[in-house]
Amino acid sequence: MVKKPHGPDPIVNAALSLAAERGWRGLALADIAERAKVPLTEVVEHFNSKADILDAYIRRIDQRMLEGGIEAGESPRDRLFDIIMRRFDAMAGDRRALRTILRQSGDDPWAVLCGGTRFLKSMALTLETGGISSSGLRGLALIHGLTAVYLYAFKTFLDDDSEDHARTMAALDKALRRAEDFSSFIWRRRAPPQTTPTPDFR
């Protein structure tokens, strides 16, 4: 009887657990396989590196974000607030591991944790979940603006061990309001150009 593959989730969980306990820098795929009770050959079928495992973790958070839906009638800022807090809620149990990964990720920890292109795709998906288009040049500007907002709140989230995430919510609200004040076009559709009636010379 052929044993069914375990799937990526146990491997991701094992990596985060070990990161919290033993650190990230010296962690090997073999260590993760042992903790997950998965053959190393199966681990490398899913992941070629620890960076791939982080990529899968971000995609997991994306999925949990999508499962919550949005409230009708909310403003774009309020929708984004709820959606980003949903991401933080999904990561709350992994906070210790995330702190360790950041601390031990060398010269560019944010690039390691956020996964570069993968993270920008997550920010685009966050906008789309909130009913805000991420396409075109305007969408690109929105993605980078939301990235700045998210990372500002994320730094607070990492040290916010309260059950209600009050400090994180305050930081996120502050960042969103600053973004709204700085570039109000982020939250509003551009008004259609006014047309001047053609004079009637009859």
pLDDT digit string, tens, across residues 31-65: 999 999 999 999 999 999 998 999 899 999 999 99
What pTM value is reported for the model?
0.81
Q: Which domains does the chain carry? A: 9-186 (1.10.357.10)
Residue 189 confidence class, pLDDT cut points 50, 70, 90: very low
C-alpha distance from residue 30 to each of 4, 17, 35, 52, 102 (Å)? 20, 14, 9, 15, 21
Q: Tell me the per-residue pLDDT of 83-133, one tens digit each, with 9 for 90 and over.
A: 999 999 999 999 999 999 988 876 555 555 555 678 889 999 999 999 999
pLDDT of residue 201: 42
pLDDT > 70: percent of the chain: 81
Q: Average pLDDT for residues 174-181, to the nearest whole number?
A: 87
pLDDT of residue 18 exceeding 90? yes
pLDDT in the model for residue 17: 97
